With several copies, the nearest count.
Chain A
Amino acid sequence: MPRTIEFTDTEFMIAQGARLIEDGKTIFVGWGIPQVVAMLAQKLYVPNVTQLFEFGAIGPQSVLPFVRGTMGGPQNTYRSLQWLNMNWAFSFSATGYMDYGMLGALQVDPYGNINSTYLGGTFASPTRRFAGSGGGNQVASHCWKTIIVIKHEGRRFVPKVDFITSPGYLDGPGAREKAGLPRGTGPHRVVTSKALFGFDEASRKMTLLSVLRGLSVEEVVKDMAFRPLLAHEIGEIPPPTDDELRVLREEIDPDRFIIRGEKMSATA
């Protein structure tokens, strides 16, 4: 009998992200949502993933529940294999040892370029100013496959980002290599609260791969400010599983600091 699952947009985004990580690989984890994605993944799916944090925590096995706001304390860096510093951390990604990178974003464009810096106006005089790159630029430049986690809000998907904080495919095929970025890197997936996108091999443009069960393609793309390419077959993404929701709600974030959001539902 079909059963209806209720969850938040954030929970769906996190659960989706967690399902993308491969076991026995390395992942460079950004601050915030990516931390929670990695925790959920490691708990349920990929016990042998090795996480790396930009200040040099290698292989942490974070204590649950998640301590909000911070990343560097004893809970989040618990049982690391090694503690180093920032210049060393980015050496691991620069030499090709980081399979995945996972980042949040303020804005993203069809080539997967990320803006985390400002919206509107100019750099010197912006309309709204945000945190900027942090280590996001390094992650997006050097990890083999960058996964972007972003709320599915139309204003976040723009034809051209106001500022390229962290490079996607820049202005198309070959542009990263031409700029001097390492060969064969770039955005791999965009995980949203409604759908999953990849990037077309030939054009390097964002491509809709699958949508949350029950949503139509049109519902997903209608308020994006650019039209993504569509995969030949658009897949269906199941909603968060009972296990995913239990771990998120009971073990990782019992105070609902991160996982709160807009209510959604779908058929299990």
Chain B
Amino acid sequence: MTIDRIRTEGEIEYRFTHPDDFREHVRDRKGRSPVPKLVTAKEAVAAFVSDGDYIVYDFSSLTRGPQSLIREVIRQRKKELWIGAEFTLHESPMLVGAGCATRIDVGFLGYGNYIGQAVCDGRVKVYEWTNGGLALRILAGARGVPFLPTRDMLGSDNMEVSAAKTITDPYTGDPVCLVPALNPDVAFLHVHQADVLGNARIFGTNLFALEAALASFRVIVSAEEIIETDEFRKDPMRTTVPYFLVDAVVHAPFGAYPGAMPARYEIDLEHVDRLNAIRTDEQMGKYLEENIYSVADHEEFLDRRVGAKRMRELRRRATITEGYR
């Protein structure tokens, strides 16, 4: 790519793409033709995630996170990734532990002291944007503007360790904070339903699903269920993301495991506890080997490491379905 995507200001590195450069990518490299995009996770990650990429995703590690895609990124041993991390409780430690991620914009850094130690050791660089600031940066990217203003972050030390700027608002004369637009290289969205074209539905709250899809150079959707395009046309209010934002669709039942998929299956708390208990590189290595490197793909992981019985049990526990349809 010839597009300038990384900037520095003093000690701070930040991702920034001129809106015109992003627009030209959209014009030239994103298809608007409704063509089938159903591929395997392996194919999607190989084709659309490169070393050095900036990645965002929602919702959280424990709820509707794109866990099978994250594991595939680790399996393919991507390098030098930069993560926009809001509710990424255990992806951050895993991606850093696996040697995939070297920079993280937070948000919320994640569970446990494995990741905290990695920061102290200098294995990963962290920049502070706060959850609100990061969500706003993605909204700016989605709206095609170079920045958005906010009245938070002001007065806090986050201003010093991010590329947020203070300007004088021309309407009130008061200080206001600007955050630069973020156009990630890749957005991962794990959804309840998608069609093969990329139309996608999420049930429940989200962080910035449509924002991330609009703002990102490439979008990979993984879906619990593949449905007909006609279903979207029958109920347009339920669509979260329209097809032409999406580059690849992956069918991934239990794709949020060990987290929950609301109204589909519950969190596997035992598995999550194992993840959260990781303190050393040895423990991390063992976890990654067992759950990622030693299996060919998500299906094999589910078959051999999770098992049908466990999955049945997690489905059975998802008793609340009201509102998720």
Contact = CB atoms under 8 A, between A and B. Distances in A.
| Chains A and B touch each other in the complex, with CB atoms below 8 Å apart | yes
Interface in A13-31: 23-26
A180 interface: yes
A133 B158 contact: yes
B22 A95 contact: yes
Nearest to A92: B214
A96 interface: yes
Nearest to B124: A129
Interface in B273-325: 318, 320-324
A92 B211 CA distance: 11
A95 B116 contact: no
Nearest to B176: A180
A138 B120 contact: no
A132 B108 CA distance: 6
Given A88-B210, A132-B108, A138-B152, A26 B32 contact: yes
Contacts of B113: 128
A93 B232 CA distance: 22
B63 A73 contact: yes
Interface string B129-146: 011110110010111110
A135 B272 contact: no
B72 interface: no
Interface SS of A by simple majority? loop
Interface string A87-119: 110111111110100000000000000000110
B152 A70 contact: no
Interface stretch (A3-11, A47-55, A225-233, A235-243): A47-55
B34 interface: yes
Chain B interface size, under 10 / 10 to 19 / 20 to 34 / 35 or more: 35 or more
B239 interface: yes
B270 interface: no
A70 B62 contact: yes
Majority-rule SS of B interface residues? mixed
A138 B132 contact: yes
A74 B244 contact: no
Nearest to B167: A180
Interface in B101-144: 106-110, 113, 115-117, 119-120, 122, 125-126, 128, 130-133, 135-136, 139, 141-144
A74 B130 CA distance: 25
B163 to A, nearest CB: 14
Nearest to B276: A69
Given A91-B142, A94-B151, A61 B233 contact: yes
A59 interface: yes
A96 B155 contact: no
Contacts of B243: 81
Contacts, number: 287
Contacts of A86: 86, 131-132, 135, 206-208
B269 interface: yes
Given A95-B214, A133-B128, A179-B175, A80 B158 contact: no
A134 B130 contact: yes
A70 B320 contact: no
A37 interface: no
B8 interface: no
A260 to B, nearest CB: 16
B52 to A, nearest CB: 21
Contacts of B321: 74
Interface string A172-185: 00011011111110
B119 A167 contact: no
A135 B87 CA distance: 10
Contacts of A176: 155
B203 to A, nearest CB: 9
Contact of A95 (B11, B125, B135, B142): B142
B155 A72 contact: no
Contacts of B174: 180
A54 B136 CA distance: 13
A48 B32 CA distance: 9
B155 A180 contact: yes
B236 A72 contact: no
B188 to A, nearest CB: 16
B153 interface: yes
A125 B92 CA distance: 18
A83 interface: yes
Interface string B159-177: 0110000100000001111
A72 B204 contact: yes
A63 B322 CA distance: 13
A106 B126 CA distance: 18
B261 to A, nearest CB: 9
A37 B86 CA distance: 23
19 contacts: A24-B31, A26-B32, A58-B236, A59-B233, A61-B233, A70-B63, A77-B205, A80-B236, A82-B232, A85-B205, A94-B152, A95-B23, A131-B110, A133-B131, A137-B153, A142-B151, A144-B27, A180-B151, A180-B177
Interface of A: 23-26, 48, 50, 53-59, 61, 63, 67-75, 77-88, 90-97, 99, 117-118, 121, 123-138, 141-142, 144, 163-167, 170, 175-176, 178-184
The 6 closest A-B pairs by CB, nearest first: A94-B144, A96-B23, A24-B33, A180-B175, A179-B155, A141-B152
Given A72-B205, A130-B109, 11 more contacts: A26-B32, A59-B242, A69-B62, A74-B204, A74-B318, A86-B135, A90-B152, A95-B215, A123-B128, A131-B110, A142-B144
